[in-house]
Amino acid sequence: MADLELIIGNKNYSSWSLRPWVFMKHYQINFKEKRVPLFTADTKEALREYDSDFKVPVLKDGGLLIWDTLSILEYLSEQYLNSKGWPSDKNARAVARSVSAEMHSSFINVRNELPMNCRKIFRNIPLSSPAKREIERIKQLWEKCLTKFSGDGDWLFGEYSIADAMFSPIALRLTGYSIPLEPLIQQYVTRVLAQPCIIEWINAGKLEIEVIEEDEIKT
């Protein structure tokens, strides 16, 4: 486990990097991190050795390279947590995989219109109808998981899972863009933001000096 290294992008902007980072921190999986600032003249050269099409995150386990966030999370769960990253109940596990895959492949308008930005709080940002629909879909998914599968636990499926890690940047976005939330959803977002590892990530993001213009909302 001492050989684990996670290659990430800017903490202020890189929502994909946040997902495996917070998962490893939550489960106290020891790792080294290497931060590669994105969209600079040196980014491609810095990422060339990882065979990830110049994308982050990448997990390096000895001589093995794993790229793509969901693949990294699956690998960590299997190799270091005895598959604890997914719920033990088969029905809950199926739903957890479904919502995680949907997060992985969908919500393009939320990604484009509400880019993650740990340094700022926005209010009254106009959203397109597709983005509003996606936000409602996310809230519906969370409500379903919390009411049907969380039991007495704090997380979407009771115990912290890959699904929580996959949706963690959404919690930051909903808060950062001052999106009104129903009580059940707000309680979940509050729990996400209260995680020591999330606080650590946000604080580190605020200290970064790089600015990625395409991820900055002009107000």
Per-residue pLDDT, 18? 98
Q: What is the pLDDT of residues 140-159, one digit of tens each?
A: 999 999 999 999 999 999 99
pLDDT above 50 (res 1): no
The C-alpha atoms of residue 16 and residue 49 are separated, in whole angstroms, by 19
The C-alpha atoms of residue 28 and residue 30 are separated, in whole angstroms, by 6
Quickly count: other Cβ atoms within 10 Å of residue 116's Cβ. 22
Q: Domains of the chain (ranges plus CATH)?
A: 4-83 (3.40.30.10), 90-201 (1.20.1050.10)
Q: What is the pLDDT of residues 67-116, one digit of tens each?
A: 999 999 999 999 999 999 999 999 999 999 999 999 999 999 999 999 99
DSSP per position, 42-105: THHHHHGGG-STT-S-EEEETTEEEESHHHHHHHHHHHHSTTTTS-SSHHHHHHHHHHHHHHHH
